[in-house]
Structure 1
Amino acid sequence: MHDLAMQLAVIGGAGIASQWVAWRLQIPAIVMLLGVGLVFGPLTGMMNPREDFGELYTPLVSTAVAIILFEGGLTLNFREIRETSTAVRRVVLVSGPLVWGMTALAAHYVGGMAWPIAIILGALLVVTGPTVIMPLLRHARLRARPASLLRWEAILNDPVGALFAVVSFEAYLVLRGDDNAEHLVLMTVAALVVAVAGGILVGRALTTFFARGYAPEYLKAPILLAAVVGMNALTNMLLEEAGLLTVTVMGITMANTRLASLAELQKFKETITVLLVSGLFIILTASLQRSVILSLEWRVVAFLALVLLVIRPAAIFASTIGAGLGFRERLLVSWIAPRGIVAVAVAGLFGASLARIGMEDADRMVAYTFAVVAATILLHGFTLKPLAKLLDLRVTNRPGILIVGASRFSIALAQRLKAQEVPVLIADSNWSHVSEARLAEVEVWFGEILSEEAHHSLDLSRFDHMIAATDNDAYNALVCTDFGAEIGRSEVFQIGATAGGQQSGGARHVMHFTLGGMPLFKPPRTYNKLRDDIIDGWTFQATRLTPEFGLEQFQGSRPEGTLPVLWIRPSHEIVFAASEGAGEPVPGDTIISFGPARADRDQEKIVRGTLTERDARREKARKTSEEVSKQAEGTN
């Protein structure tokens, strides 16, 4: 397939399809992309992007990697690593050089490579790759501290490892006499100054430019994208691949400023990154030559064992002594170090350059790099989740629900969910409301849920669903709109009037359909109505359906007006009754319903003539006596 337009279309379609299939099957997306690239390239020979793209191949890959690293930098807020800042510094500044040195030794003595090739390979394998680690973290749902450490290491180590490789390559050229040491030192220092100082200055300048309104909203993302591409190219003119450090510094600088448009810019860049990662991984894997893969011999197995089981664990455990991490966290981090796009891209770049100057091991360096990338993607991709579960470093094994607003209604719902072992948390900025929830022994978070502090101190990965249940419909809609992008628009619900719901005052009082979340009840039920229901004795009940007691029997046994809120499947999946396409609960599901108390049902029977008033009074007296007895027992 040599038609570039068709090739790009196939790569783009296959990349996004792989992402979707991986999401449906709950497997790491990067594994699917690796398989697709192998099928398109070495296995079938359908395409070879390196040859087909020609001279555009290297700059396109370099630019795409720069955009990916910039987007990663935009997610790195210093407030996020208050507990792991020492560990992050140690892992980057101490563990990185240790991995470089030990890997070079392994490549020379075990892999049989010449020293220049071994040193460059050692530098390449310092990187851990955000393009791989980010999807794995999203899939594994790690606790905040190890997840933060792995994410920071991956993003910071990518440009650092690339620079190690560049300096090693340039130093080898100096030793060959193809360059001079003074020029290398000058260019390296200049590149570092431009990368660090230039990245900070441009990041702050763009922040000020946007904050003062010098650019309209629709131009901010394009301006940012152009600045990233330009700074990457400018720094690369001084030192190859140094632009990766520049754009990473730019991203971190902007992430730690108070820019109102940052959330929208992050969403735009994340969308581009998903597209680039999907396409790049297929392109880089498809560009591998079958001969390179076949050149792998028995030595590579011993090399992989050393890199994965000795070098990485030794470097991590040595560098994190006294860094505030627990043994289980250090053990997890010492195992998880998947390599990704940057390692493959830079290896291909230097492999071609070294081959041109007559280095025999150049192709073997590319093959070894690909072997490490493939092995770490498969091994770490499929073991991160079970290992995190074994070490008890996952946030939860069950889907959780975040409730905003600590009313009597939401506290009663949280208590019923807690009784069913569903992780639940109530967030509210009113201390008296939070105190009531605490007295009910419900986990709470005191503060403004829309604040920056909430996004950094509250681990939102624990929750798959959210319910906005305050007394302000507009605020509920704002909360659902804000969290919908992160949790999923079909998984955020609100009480009261919703977009498109019936409100008094006509169409001018109805919010736009793009705002807010799904209604928790159909038809929508207001805060005041729910409050009155609670006062009238309405309660939440949990009822498990069985083959003998199905949905029809459940509906017949409930008082008139009972509202199913959600049901919990045996797999712990939570399905809200108001969701589109929710279907109906089946035997084995547990229904959480909200309805009148039993006394109201007895009153219905009186009206129907099936229960006398004397029987009702007797039943009420019996229940009161039982409650008094229980209270007396509790006092004793």
Structure 2
Amino acid sequence: MAVAESAGLGPVLAFALVGVCGVGAQWLAWRLRLPAIVIMLVAGLIAGPATGLLNPSRDFGDLLSPLIALAVAVILFEGGFSLDFHRLGDAKTGVRRLVFIGAPLGWFLSVLALVWGAGLSWESAAVFGGIMVVTGPTVIAPLLRTAKLARRPARLLQWEAIVNDPIGALAAVLAFEVVFTLRSNLPMGEAVGHLALGIGFAAAIGGVIGWGIARSFSRGWVPEFMKVPVLFATLLGTFAVTDHVLHESGLLAVTVMGLVIGNADLPSYEELRRFKEHATVLLVSGVFILLAANIEIDQLAALDWHALLFVILVVLVARPLTVLISLIGTALPRNERLLIAFTGPRGVVLVAVAGLFGQRLAEIGVADGLRIGPLAFVLVLVTVIVHGFTLAPLARKLGLANADKPGLLIVGGSRFTTALAETLNKAEVPVLITDPNHAHLIRPRANGLKTFYGDILGEAAEDKVELMAYSTLLAATDNDAYNTLVATDLAPELGRDKVWQVPRQKDDRERHALPTQLGGRRFGEGRTLENWEKLLSEGWRFRVTRITEEYTLTQWREKRPKAKPVMVVAKSGDLRFVIDPAEMKVEPGGRLISLLPPEAFEEETTQKAKAGEKPSGQPGPAARIP
């Protein structure tokens, strides 16, 4: 250890350690179902101040600041790229209020909290306060999914985070430009001109380059396999050149560039979006580890009651006042306003941008600029932990939480999916059936099932289908190609292990086999939708069986040898379809949903009738609809 501390790891080993810590922390957080930012903070502090193994200033030397600056540039580009004005135009009034009124008001109140609570100078407070407008889009999404919020408050919180991400970055850039200009001791007129020139130059360069990229992509001047490399190289080049020509203009330029490209309706939008998401995950985790490891023990020890007062003012005063004032005059009910007012987790983006600007402020002579980094860590850590543990209980208390049980989203209305949905409803599992063909929804609607008419991949579905309420998806339309498209498109959002698809008609033929990355998981021993429908037409019926310590899966198999298992509802509520009945596992407390042949169903119905019970899975109105 002494050798490592004296000589250092060197850039290559240090870079590898940062990658392992960052990605490993995110994976561990996923496994433990904890906020990733908390695990990353612990990993960075252990690798840095606690053990001295990683010292970014020592190991990277003069490369540290440029590395962080380039990473932040990509992060801010991603923020601008995510802001789609077309979708924002359809957002509710509350979202616009939280952006156009809440952002500047939150900036002002955050500055006051920093000055009066943390004791920062007005210069540092103005820059850091702008960054604090960001509420953490990478943090709010998993929190919303865990809490299962109702549609409107969830959408308001999510859109506020997405839109305010680039706005907060722009506010910090502008505030820093003002501080930098005032510190240059230029005459007022010249200082204003310098500031206007910097903003105009950065915005113009970012806009022109963004327009050029969008035009070249849409006209086919760049081949598909080159679009991501060209975009990434152009992004880095734009930042480097504009920042070299005019100091600190690069961040603003790449943010504007992202805004232009993100609103250009490019046909390759999905590929670009996934690239920037993957790049952002890597860079955000890397920057966070670097900043955490670079914190000195003395800086952490210097945090006193002022830091605690600052966090309290932000969480209990600045955030609630910002939201409640912004939403005055809207039709939002009181419980939704209160939930939004007391939900404002900050994320990794805030720490990354704050760490960069804290160093820049210190470089131009703002003495307390280095305090911004530790304060950002404290704010992020406290808000993520507080909101992570309180959002779900608060939502339930205010009556704004969806069903706690994971639900199933079925794409495709048919006799099979209607009967399955009816059975799941009786098992108290939330189900929604969607179909772009209105006629296919007649049967499920007649049975009182929840439906959505439209394309699940369309913009209307984003507005009206609450995907967060459904943990699992089944693509089961009569169009195999559409099923594959839906499963492939939604797999990254829901998780590939949660996306299922009825087997295709020619799945077993080598000539028609698809790559493994396309489509969802198959189930039911290769039975197609046509096969399932045929079984139902022959009189087979769904049955729910609870597996217990007394009535085991082995006993069920012995009693129902001809039954065809379809899916398992675990004791925890997790849903999974049965791929191979021979390898099927059902823990005690779980429920098995299967299809029984007519004779077995009649036998069970008779037994239930004699016992005075109502058999589950009994055919309802669906069986009477042609």
* TM-score range normalised by the length of the shorter chain: 0.7 to 0.9
The answer on 1:5 being equivalent to 2:12 is yes
Could you tell me which residue of structure 2 aligns to residue 539 of structure 1? 541
Does the CA contact (< 8 Å) of 2:178 and 2:195 recur in 1? no
Could you tell me which residue of structure 1 aligns to residue 55 of structure 2? 48
Code of the aligned partner of 1:548: E
Which range moves more in the overlay, 318-327 or 441-450?
318-327
The answer on 1:489 being equivalent to 2:492 is no
Displacement of 1:198 after TM fit?
Answer: 4.7
Displacement of 1:583 after TM fit?
Answer: 4.2
Give CA deviations for 1:394-438 in whole Å, capped at 9, x if unaligned: 444222111122111111011101111111111112222212210
Does the CA contact (< 8 Å) of 1:127 and 1:339 recur in 2? yes
Displacement of 1:338 after TM fit?
Answer: 2.9
Does the CA contact (< 8 Å) of 1:351 and 1:362 recur in 2? yes
Could you tell me which residue of structure 2 aligns to residue 18 of structure 1? 25
Could you tell me which residue of structure 2 aligns to residue 569 of structure 1? 570
The answer on 1:419 being equivalent to 2:421 is no
1:62-211 equivalences in 2 (<5 Å): 62-81=69-88, 84-137=91-144, 139-172=146-179, 175=182, 178-196=185-203, 198-211=205-218
Q: Pick from 513, 517, 521: which aligns with 2:524?
A: 521
**Residue 568 of structure 2 aligns to a residue in which SS?**
strand
Does the CA contact (< 8 Å) of 2:123 and 2:366 recur in 1? no
**Residue 518 of structure 1 aligns to a residue in which SS?**
coil
Could you tell me which residue of structure 1 aligns to residue 599 of structure 2? 598
The alpha-carbon distance between structure 1 residues 579 and 487, as it changes in their structure 2 partners (threshold 3 A), is farther
Does the CA contact (< 8 Å) of 2:288 and 2:351 recur in 1? no
Q: Distance in 2 between matches of 1:581 and 1:329?
A: 48
The alpha-carbon distance between structure 1 residues 443 and 41, as it changes in their structure 2 partners (threshold 3 A), is same
Does the CA contact (< 8 Å) of 1:402 and 1:467 recur in 2? yes
Displacement of 1:360 after TM fit?
Answer: 4.4
The alpha-carbon distance between structure 1 residues 93 and 391, as it changes in their structure 2 partners (threshold 3 A), is same
Could you tell me which residue of structure 1 aligns to residue 550 of structure 2? 548
Q: Distance in 2 between matches of 1:111 and 1:515?
A: 52
Does the CA contact (< 8 Å) of 1:343 and 1:369 recur in 2? yes
The alpha-carbon distance between structure 1 residues 367 and 550, as it changes in their structure 2 partners (threshold 3 A), is closer
Displacement of 1:291 after TM fit?
Answer: 0.8
The alpha-carbon distance between structure 1 residues 193 and 36, as it changes in their structure 2 partners (threshold 3 A), is same
Does the CA contact (< 8 Å) of 1:28 and 1:382 recur in 2? no
Code of the aligned partner of 2:508: Q
Q: Distance in 1 between matches of 2:602 and 2:46?
A: 65
Could you tell me which residue of structure 2 aligns to residue 430 of structure 1? 437
Q: Distance in 2 between matches of 1:537 and 1:556?
A: 22
Q: Distance in 1 between matches of 2:552 and 2:236?
A: 61
Could you tell me which residue of structure 2 aligns to residue 557 of structure 1? 559
Code of the aligned partner of 2:585: E
Could you tell me which residue of structure 1 aligns to residue 508 of structure 2? 502
The alpha-carbon distance between structure 1 residues 170 and 556, as it changes in their structure 2 partners (threshold 3 A), is closer
Which range moves more in the overlay, 272-281 or 594-603?
594-603
TM-score normalized with structure 1 length? 0.85
Displacement of 1:498 after TM fit?
Answer: 6.8
Displacement of 1:447 after TM fit?
Answer: 1.7
Could you tell me which residue of structure 2 aligns to residue 585 of structure 1? 586
**Residue 449 of structure 1 aligns to a residue in which SS?**
coil
CA RMSD of aligned residues (A): 3.3
Could you tell me which residue of structure 2 aligns to residue 33 of structure 1? 40
Q: Distance in 2 between matches of 1:71 and 1:182?
A: 35
Which range moves more in the overlay, 483-492 or 21-30?
483-492
Q: Distance in 2 between matches of 1:541 and 1:191?
A: 69
The alpha-carbon distance between structure 1 residues 554 and 170, as it changes in their structure 2 partners (threshold 3 A), is closer
Task: Mark the structure with the bigger radius of gyration.
Answer: 1
Displacement of 1:119 after TM fit?
Answer: 3.6
Could you tell me which residue of structure 1 aligns to residue 4 of structure 2? none
**Residue 267 of structure 2 aligns to a residue in which SS?**
coil
The alpha-carbon distance between structure 1 residues 183 and 339, as it changes in their structure 2 partners (threshold 3 A), is farther
Which range moves more in the overlay, 269-278 or 180-189?
180-189
**Residue 322 of structure 1 aligns to a residue in which SS?**
coil
Q: Distance in 1 between matches of 2:363 and 2:85?
A: 43
Give CA deviations for 1:563-603 in whole Å, capped at 9, x if unaligned: 11111122212232217997411321111001212367769
1:249-398 equivalences in 2 (<5 Å): 249-355=256-362, 359-398=366-405
Q: Distance in 2 between matches of 1:74 and 1:396?
A: 33
Could you tell me which residue of structure 2 aligns to residue 626 of structure 1? none
Code of the aligned partner of 1:516: G
* Number of equivalenced pairs: 604
Q: Distance in 2 between matches of 1:481 and 1:573?
A: 21
Does the CA contact (< 8 Å) of 1:484 and 1:517 recur in 2? yes
Displacement of 1:135 after TM fit?
Answer: 4.5
Give CA deviations for 1:205-246 in whole Å, capped at 9, x if unaligned: 323322222111111111111222233334545765554444
Does the CA contact (< 8 Å) of 1:187 and 1:239 recur in 2? no
**Gaps in structure 1 of 5+ consecutive residues:** 604-614, 624-629, 632-636
Displacement of 1:68 after TM fit?
Answer: 2.2
Which range moves more in the overlay, 162-171 or 375-384?
162-171
**Gaps in structure 2 of 5+ consecutive residues:** 1-7, 614-619, 622-626
Displacement of 1:309 after TM fit?
Answer: 0.7
Which range moves more in the overlay, 187-196 or 35-44?
187-196
Displacement of 1:260 after TM fit?
Answer: 2.2
The alpha-carbon distance between structure 1 residues 94 and 244, as it changes in their structure 2 partners (threshold 3 A), is farther
The alpha-carbon distance between structure 1 residues 143 and 51, as it changes in their structure 2 partners (threshold 3 A), is farther
Displacement of 1:20 after TM fit?
Answer: 1.4
Displacement of 1:340 after TM fit?
Answer: 3.7
Does the CA contact (< 8 Å) of 1:340 and 1:373 recur in 2? yes
Does the CA contact (< 8 Å) of 2:80 and 2:166 recur in 1? no
Does the CA contact (< 8 Å) of 2:47 and 2:53 recur in 1? yes
Displacement of 1:317 after TM fit?
Answer: 0.8
Displacement of 1:172 after TM fit?
Answer: 4.3
The alpha-carbon distance between structure 1 residues 282 and 382, as it changes in their structure 2 partners (threshold 3 A), is farther
Displacement of 1:293 after TM fit?
Answer: 1.0
Which range moves more in the overlay, 143-152 or 313-322?
143-152
